[in-house]
Structure 1
Amino acid sequence: MKVVKSDGKRVDIDLDKIHIMVEKACRGITGVSESLVEMNSGLQFYDDITTKEIQKILVKSASDLISLDNPNYQFVAARLLLFAIQKQVFNTKWKDSEIYPPFLEIIEKNIDLGVYDGTILDHYSTEEIGQLNSYIKHGRDLDFTY
């Protein structure tokens, strides 16, 4: 089975990569099963699936497992979604998700992409943006629920 990566390349699906990502999303969370998330999602893969679609399927797989008896899957789904957001915003792979670029770098990248208006840098100095950066607690990202 082939996967289409974000750069358009077609490669063989790497189930080990998917397992490692699900394992990381489940790490430290009680009452969840990596195997259950994987089994719930694996039946939905198809040839030439995109990596973005795999990510969506994994998030849905975990969110479908959320129940009164198994509420902690909300954290698994949130982490899987976080990995996708980090890739989009920081242009980093989920396995490097502990490495965050400086806030100024993110702002500049998003100005270049047309997401932010460049005048934002007219209103805030490099020092002020650096101060904002110091307030961001990335460790809290893992506390969000789905």
Structure 2
Amino acid sequence: MKDTIKYVGLDVSKEKIAVAIAEEGREEPRYYGLIPHTTEAIKKLLKKLGEPSALRVCYEAGPTGYPLYRLLLSLGVHCDVIAPSLIPKRPGERIKTDRRDSIRLAHLYRAGELTSIYVPTPEDEALRDLVRAREDAKEDELRLNIA
């Protein structure tokens, strides 16, 4: 029997991840719950959800960066990092909770309404950090010369 695709929306914070799942079809996404933001907890969740090839996972780009993306890819799970500014919003939708955000992500992801971003390679990130450090050093040098 072929596994059905599960669309998983993650609302990621530094210490926890809210998880929601939307199965293929028209059923409402269901809230799975909160898990700790640890490698062990993520692996345990994926094991419960089923075959990695049948999972499609997404989360919003943010301050937590890309380690979660790289972990999921290394485990054979398809993952998209979503541009928060391009997530469709309903008028009057102001209340934001981890639960609501994860359910909304799963729902919109299944519907194909989310825009993913380019995830830089570790080498790209290292180069970007180097360029930023150089720019900061130049600004510091300029400030010292003016003073």
Coarse TM-score class (shorter-chain normalised): under 0.3
Structure whose residues are more often strand by fraction: 2
> What is the TM-score with the length of structure 2 in the denominator?
0.26
Asked which structure has the greater CA Rg, the reply is 2
Structure whose residues are more often helix by fraction: 1
Higher relative contact order (CA 8 A, sep 6+): 2
> What is the TM-score with the length of structure 1 in the denominator?
0.26
